Amino acid sequence: MAETLADLRSDPLFGWLTLDDGTRLRTAHWPSFVTPARGTVLLLTGRSEFVEKYAETAGELLDRGFEVFAFDWRNQGLSDRPLPNPQIHHLDSFDTLADDLDAVVERVVRPAAGGRPLVLLAHSMGGLVATLGVARHPDWYKAAIVTAPMYDIFTGPVPRPLAVWLAEQLCARGRAREYAFGQGDYKPVEGLFTPANPITSDARRYAVFHDAFRDRAELRVGGVSFGWVRAALRASDQLLRALPLEQVTTPVLLLSAPKDAIVRSDSHRLVAARLPNATLKEYPEAKHELLMECDAIRDRVWADIDAFLASVGL
């Protein structure tokens, strides 16, 4: 991995935000190495992830003159988890996460950043929430960068309409907080890198996530609940069919892996076509984790991010 200035300096400043419903979110802040900062970037992690996984990404942004914020979504990282089994990734609605994003921006990021331009850099599930966020508040953000956003999920051998029906029915029968079919607690064997994995072709970056799960059991997240599946499918339908994306003026850079096996990349083209200020970049040889890919791919990703930031005046 390329060494950045962040590798030579301190860890982020961690804090806590207590939301109106009592949930505590863990927050992180990397102050800029330069004064004044070029701008402020808020990192939004993917499903089951945690702040520490994005240290290398934060370092790239610090080297570019930005200050950086991040936080752990509820039900993952060190933020609060409501269920007796803390590994079950549960959610009733993605509007809850969009509300959490609003709260972090208003109560943590803005007071520290002042009037500096704010950019979202979001991956996968975070990319879905980022897009919901810019649809709500296009004037809050100078730009948004989404990598492999979770605009729609694969439903395996179950046809999507049937998956929607099953999720709705099982949640209605009181099973929303149970693991969905085929889901379970995290298994350490998942940390063994194989070239066939759907995440990244870079073994070292693959290990960043799983080594943390091995060393700090409290970070582990397993599979998703029936409620999470229902929420994800509802959010996809809302985004792809109901939200007035044509009215979103925020510049958006959408980075996509056409062969993605985690999220449906065809949804990226659908959303990009509706956003008036979207730029779609595709990496045919990449897997899901574009920011964690091998250097040959990742260098191109960062070159595209740099060009996009320059195009929006940053």
| Cis preceding-peptide flag for 198 (omega within 30 of 0) | no
CATH label of the domain that carries residue 36: 3.40.50.1820
Residue 280, Ramachandran bin (φ over 0: left; ψ between -120 and 50: alpha; else beta): beta
Rounded Cα distance between 163 and 116, Å, is 43
Rounded Cα distance between 8 and 12, Å, is 12
What is residue 282's DSSP assignment? E
Rounded Cα distance between 195 and 222, Å, is 22
Tell me the C-alpha to C-alpha distance, in Å, between residue 102 and each of 99, 106, 133, 176, 231.
5, 6, 7, 25, 19
* Domain membership of residue 193 as a residue range: 5-311
Tell me the C-alpha to C-alpha distance, in Å, between residue 225 and each of 143, 161, 229, 261.
32, 18, 6, 20
Alpha helix positions (H), the chain: 55-63, 94-104, 110-113, 125-136, 160-172, 203-215, 226-237, 266-274, 295-311
What string of H, E and C letters represents the secondary structure of 40-76?
A: EEEEECCCCCCHHHHHHHHHHHHHCCEEEEEECCCCC
By the 8 A CB rule, do 116 and 41 touch? no
pLDDT 10s digit of each residue in the chain, 314 long? 554 444 545 689 999 999 999 999 999 999 999 999 999 999 999 999 999 999 999 999 999 999 999 999 999 999 999 899 999 999 999 999 999 999 999 999 999 998 899 999 999 999 999 999 999 999 999 999 999 999 999 998 999 999 999 999 999 999 999 999 999 999 999 999 999 999 999 999 999 999 999 999 999 999 999 999 999 999 999 999 999 999 999 999 999 999 999 999 999 999 999 999 999 999 999 999 999 999 999 999 999 999 999 999 99
Rounded Cα distance between 63 and 48, Å, is 27
What amino acid occupies position 65?
Answer: G
Number of domains comprising the chain: 1
